[in-house]
Structure 1
Amino acid sequence: MSSFKGKTAIVSGAALGMGNLISRRLARAGARVLLTDVDRARILSAAREIRGQGGTARAMRVDVRNYDEVARAVDQARTAFGGVDLLLNFCGGAPSRVFGRSEPFAQRDPALLEWGIDVNLRGPLYFCRAAFPAMIAGKGGVIVNIGSIDGVTG
């Protein structure tokens, strides 16, 4: 990974998997990283590990279904680190994994369908919307939205 020294990155879905790994790699490459996720304990632990290895990281519990929480996270990154250069959205999930539900799609409770739309579609869009003003003020930025197999398998 090339140098990201002096860049600020927000990573949603940073508690596990690719979001967690990318957060660590960005920090190793010099980025200041705000890790966000609903799993507060895991992102706090990851941020502590990053700082213990000489990186710069903060953690903030964010429910991506709530625009105000997302906007507060972006504001925290902007205030603490001086801007927003990178937004990497790994947030998402499937009811089968999160709630232990595995009924066929045609039998799924509509509330779970709404949850899936909120977490997998609205969440990343909320982060994009909230980060745009900071990126525009900083004369640019990069947004990467990553989907997962959960979008296919449900």
Structure 2
Amino acid sequence: MRGLKGKRIVIAGGATGIGAATAERLAEEGASVAVGDINLAGAEATVKGITEAGGTAVAIGFDLGDETSIQELVYRAATDFGGVDGLFNVGADLSPDTLGRDTDLLDMDPAVWRRTHDVNLLGYALTCRAVLPHLLGQGGG
């Protein structure tokens, strides 16, 4: 990853794992990163590591299954950094309420399936929709 100095990137799901590692790498390359996650303590820990290494980052609590929360994530990132240049969608609901509970159709709990759909599919589309006006307004990202 090169050419990211001064870019402003939203990480949707950056508290741990691939999201945290990507946030750290983007910051190493000079990007400012908005680390969004439902796990705010984890997002704050990721941001602490980035800022201690000299990077620029902000932690924002948000729920990938809630449209208002998604809009607030992007708004905060754009406000804090003066715009948005990119999005890295990596969030998923890995809570005990959903993980491994999307069983066969005879035993399914529709609430688990709805939550999984809202986070893992619809949430990705909604974050893209929230970021696109910023990218289009500035001629790209």
TM-score (norm 1): 0.84
Give unmatched runs, 5+ long, in structure 1. 142-154
1:60 is aligned to 60
1:88 is aligned to 88
Could you say if the C-alpha distance between residues 13 and 98 of structure 1 is closer, same or farther in structure 2, counting changes exceeding 3 Å? farther
State the percentage of identical aligned residues: 34
Q: For 1:43-58, list aligned pairs within 5 A.
A: 43-58=43-58
2:21 is aligned to 21
1:112 is aligned to 112
Alpha-carbon distance in 1 for matches of 2:102, 2:75: 39
CA deviation map 1:12-58 (0-9, x unaligned) = 11111111110000000000000001001000111011001000000
Alpha-carbon distance in 2 for matches of 1:102, 1:137: 41
Alpha-carbon distance in 2 for matches of 1:100, 1:86: 29
Alpha-carbon distance in 1 for matches of 2:118, 2:24: 26
Shift of 1:60: 0.3
Alpha-carbon distance in 2 for matches of 1:49, 1:32: 13
TM-score (norm 2): 0.92
Shift of 1:3: 3.3
| Number of corresponding residues | 140
2:35 is aligned to 35
RMSD: 1.6
Give unmatched runs, 5+ long, in structure 2. none
1:137 is aligned to 137
Alpha-carbon distance in 2 for matches of 1:29, 1:98: 37
